[in-house]
Amino acid sequence: MVISIFPVSTDQPSIEVTNLTKHYGPVTAINEVSFSVAKGEIVGFLGPNGAGKSTTMRILSGLIPASSGIAKVCGIPVASHSAEIKRRIGYMAENNPLPEDMRVAEYLHYRASLKEIPAKQRKKRVEEVLETCDLHRKTKRKLIRALSKGFRQRVGIADSILANPEVAIMDEPTIGLDPHQILLIRDLINNLRGRCTLILSSHILAEVEICCDRVIIINQGRIVATGSPKDLRHEFIRRNQYHIRVAGEKAKLLEVLQQVDPEIDLQENLDETNDSFQTWNAYSVISGDLSEELIQRILRTNGLRLGGLTKLEPSLEDIFLSATRRSWDVTQQEAQNIQKTYQQQQENTD
Amino acid sequence: MKHFLSLLRHEIRTLFIAPATYTAAVLFLILMGLIYHGILRQYTLDEQTVDPAYVFFQIFWIPVLFMVPLLTMRSIAEERRMGTLETLMTTPVTAAEIVLSKFLASWFFYCLLWLCTLSFPVIIQMTIHQEPVTQALLSKGPLIGGYLFTFLSGTLFIAVGIFSSSLTRSQLVAGMLSFSILFILILGPRLLQTQGVAMQIEWLQASVDYLQLFTHLEDFSRGMLDSRPFFYYLSNTGLVLGVSILMVESKA
């Protein structure tokens, strides 16, 4: 019987990270990272390779110590009470390492005993998890060595949610899966909603956009953006893009468009078309939907025939690129500033 | 130590389903069988003053140098390379439980292999029904002393193997490291004693003598159970395992 010295309150965030920094020798993997995740929230961790996603997750699960800063899971500091943390989290490591020569059900039973699930409930719980992850038919008797990537990934996910953890941390759970399996895992994540707090990292942006309540974008060890995909769109994408299919002269089209937005930017879309219609990309900084007005005006103009007009929703991909590029610029600017002050100091000493 | 039994069961199971284990066991038994055969041939040629079991245990170090690295090099290095050590460390399991379970499983298997050699005199006794032969082959003293010594010294050897395995993620490096340490541990004191320096300094000779595994073995075979070898092996086993636990904890 484990008696926790930490009372669980309902309003306290599941994960709380303050000014977390980790150095590997001279390399700074993460730098002054702060964020918090509310109870029951599903958060996606995005970033290019080497941005510090895995490092943050490993610190949160108590695998490696941070250089400075505080990480708390369920209100418990990870650094000083890692044993307590390990009873409350489910962790799925990057690349999902599994023992090759065990059978699926056998492995989960073994993990269940390590995770302190009482012997009487073990069998039932393993069956439940096998069913949740769609491993319950033939697969559970297979050797892990013989499983395909998608099934191995599911075994990893099954293991991480086995002990009904308060917080599940998954490092790239959808890597290497085909679209069918991704769909399955999306359902699985949706199933977990409300039952536990989930933090997952991914490269696949569409995946994160659909599953997650909130996205944290991290680049070069710093958080560059955080919020729901909708908020991020608003913050990072300043101009709207329209696809216009029109038959007619460019000058005429531009003239019409400029009546709506004088600063509109019109570019030729290089997609080939078989008919007289030509597709154009129009970019406008005016917020709100201009589609109707544009359609009206193009239709009223002689010499222009409208084939179609769509406003494009910026994907998370655009936000991601824009956010990480912005952080690049910031760091470059910082570097230039440092160099400037250094030069000034040099001049002063001379 | 709640998870210790689950871990130990898992480790023993892994050992018993691995083909490498059986290969090692077969090689060990062939080697030991040939050596035993050689000893018996010697006995048919000349009259000997000591029992065959006594001579048999004198060569304990040959299989130890090969078997122990083979048995233990996989244990932690492989888990570290695969990343499964990391997943183990995210459960409420402690590093001490991991190291101890691996140690005990390997030691158990080591003892089991040595016990298999007990079949040699038994088989011969079953084919030759002669009282003097049986008496010489199965004389209790040297056999019990010899096995007790191999089991006791085995704790330290296996601990050294586990320690080497905890230092690296490469099985090869772990194997070579444990071979080197075992070589120094077993043959080092004897070389020190017979060559040069230690001969001249009296107090050094006494301490080197304390480290002599062969002296320990002789005492055990003669039925002399001194507390000093027990202390030597068990304390060093504890020390080496302690350092391994720290290694696993810090480098998970």
DSSP string, A180-197: HHHHHHHHHHHHHTTTSE
Taking CA–CA distances from B80, the nearest residue in chain A reads A97
The two beta strands, A214-219 and A167-171, are unpaired
pLDDT score of A2 = 45
pLDDT tens per residue, range A234-247: 776 667 778 888 88
pLDDT tens per residue, range A219-231: 888 888 888 877 7
pLDDT tens per residue, range A141-190: 888 888 888 888 888 888 988 888 888 898 888 777 777 777 777 788 88
pLDDT score of B165 = 93
Q: How far apart are CA A34 and CA A17, in angstroms?
A: 5
Task: Using an 8 Å CB-CB cutoff, list chain B residues near A89.
Answer: 90
Q: Please check whether residues A217 and A76 belong to one and the same domain.
A: yes
Q: What is the three-class DSSP state of A76?
A: strand
Taking CA–CA distances from B251, the nearest residue in chain A reads A64
Answer whether B18 sits within 8 Å of A62, measured CB to CB. Answer: no
Task: Extract the tokens encoding B154.
Answer: 């085995």
Q: Does B20 touch chain A (CB under 8 A)?
A: no
What are the angstrom distances between the C-alpha of B191 and each of A124, B67, B212, B214?
Answer: 61, 22, 10, 12
C-beta separation of B71 from B110 below 8 A: yes
Answer whether B87 sits within 8 Å of A101, measured CB to CB. Answer: no
Q: Please check whether residues A128 and A219 belong to one and the same domain.
A: yes
Task: Using an 8 Å CB-CB cutoff, list chain B residues near A115.
Answer: 91-92
Least Cα separation, residue A278 to chain B (angstroms) = 54
Q: Please check whether residues A223 and A243 belong to one and the same domain.
A: no
H or E segment at B94?
Answer: none
- Structurally, chain A folds into a number of domains equal to 2
Q: Does B87 touch chain A (CB under 8 A)?
A: yes
Q: Does A63 touch chain B (CB under 8 A)?
A: yes
CA angle B207, B210, B211 (to 5 degrees): 95
C-beta separation of B186 from B171 below 8 A: no
Of A213-222, A225-234, B81-90, B199-208, the poorest mean pLDDT is in B199-208
Q: Read off φ and ψ for residue A135, nearest 5 degrees.
A: -115, 5
Answer whether A63 sits within 8 Å of B92, measured CB to CB. Answer: no
Least Cα separation, residue A37 to chain B (angstroms) = 20
pLDDT band, very low/low/confident/very high, at A1 (cuts 50, 70, 90): very low
What are the angstrom distances between the C-alpha of A233 and each of A108, A265, B155?
Answer: 41, 20, 63
Q: How far apart are CA A176 and CA A305, in angstroms?
A: 45
pLDDT score of B181 = 93
C-beta separation of A315 from A205 below 8 A: yes
The neighbour count for residue A276, using CB atoms within 10 Å, is 10
Give the domain-ending residue among A234, A262, A292.
A234
Q: Please check whether residues A82 and A37 belong to one and the same domain.
A: yes
Q: Please check whether residues A275 and A141 belong to one and the same domain.
A: no
pLDDT score of A328 = 55
Task: Using an 8 Å CB-CB cutoff, list chain A residues near B92.
Answer: 83, 86-87, 114-116
Residue A91's domain comprises 15-234
CA angle A316, A200, A204 (to 5 degrees): 35
Q: What is the pTM of this model?
A: 0.80
Residue A340 lies in a domain: no
Q: How far apart are CA A169 and CA A49, in angstroms?
A: 18
Q: Please check whether residues A114 and A148 belong to one and the same domain.
A: yes
Q: Does B1 touch chain A (CB under 8 A)?
A: no
Q: How far apart are CA B78 and CA B57, in angstroms?
A: 32
What are the angstrom distances between the C-alpha of A151 and each of A117, A134, B127?
Answer: 24, 9, 56
Q: Please check whether residues A20 and A156 belong to one and the same domain.
A: yes
Q: Domain segments of chain B: what residues? A: 2-251
Q: Read off φ and ψ for residue A83, nearest 5 degrees.
A: -65, -40
Tell me the torsion sign for CA atoms A215, A186, A17, A50: negative
- CATH code of the domain covering residue A266: 3.30.70.260
- CATH code of the domain covering residue A109: 3.40.50.300
CA angle A48, B82, A42 (to 5 degrees): 45
Cα Rg of chain A, angstroms: 26
8-state DSSP, A139: G
The full length of chain A comes to: 350
Measured distance between the N- and C-terminal CA atoms of chain B, rounded to whole angstroms = 19
Least Cα separation, residue B226 to chain A (angstroms) = 40
Maximum average pLDDT range among A105-119, A192-206, B184-198? A105-119
Least Cα separation, residue A91 to chain B (angstroms) = 7
Q: Check whether B1 has a pLDDT greater than 70.
A: no
Give the domain-ending residue among A210, A234, A258.
A234
pLDDT tens per residue, range A48-100: 777 888 888 888 888 888 888 888 888 888 888 888 888 888 898 888 888 88
Q: Please check whether residues A230 and A253 belong to one and the same domain.
A: no
8-state DSSP, A328: H
The neighbour count for residue A259, using CB atoms within 10 Å, is 12
Q: Does B217 touch chain A (CB under 8 A)?
A: no
Task: Using an 8 Å CB-CB cutoff, list chain B residues near A64.
Answer: 252
Predicted complex ipTM: 0.83
Task: Using an 8 Å CB-CB cutoff, list chain A residues near B88.
Answer: 114
Residue A192 lies in a domain: yes
Q: Which of residues 140-179 of A touch B (CB under 8 A)?
A: 159
Q: Please check whether residues A206 and A227 belong to one and the same domain.
A: yes
Give the domain-ending residue among A200, A219, A234.
A234
Residue A5 lies in a domain: no
Q: Does A98 touch chain B (CB under 8 A)?
A: yes
Residue A209 lies in a domain: yes
pLDDT score of A64 = 85
pLDDT score of B15 = 85
Q: How far apart are CA B159 and CA B67, in angstroms?
A: 13
pLDDT score of A326 = 63
Q: Please check whether residues A113 and A242 belong to one and the same domain.
A: no
Answer whether B18 sits within 8 Å of A97, measured CB to CB. Answer: no
Maximum average pLDDT range among A126-135, A180-189, A215-224, B231-240? B231-240
Q: Check whether A5 has a pLDDT greater than 60.
A: no
Q: How far apart are CA A221 and CA A47, in angstroms?
A: 9
Q: Please check whether residues A70 and A186 belong to one and the same domain.
A: yes
Q: Please check whether residues A229 and A247 belong to one and the same domain.
A: no
The two beta strands, A167-171 and A89-92, are parallel
The full length of chain B comes to: 252
Amino acid letter for position B190: R
pLDDT score of B178 = 93
Q: Check whether A32 has a pLDDT greater than 90.
A: no
Task: Extract the tokens encoding A139.
Answer: 């697969």
8-state DSSP, A143: B
C-beta separation of A212 from A200 below 8 A: yes
- List the one residue out of B165, B153, B174, B123 whose CA is nearest residue B221: B153
Q: Which of A63, A101, A114 sits opposite B3 (nearest CB)?
A: A114
Residue A330 lies in a domain: no
Q: What is the three-class DSSP state of A40?
A: coil
E-strand ranges in B18-105 read none
Cβ burial of B156 (10 Å; 0-12, 13-18, 19+) is buried
Answer whether A101 sits within 8 Å of B18, measured CB to CB. Answer: yes
Q: Check whether A304 has a pLDDT greater than 70.
A: yes
Task: Using an 8 Å CB-CB cutoff, list chain A residues near B4.
Answer: none
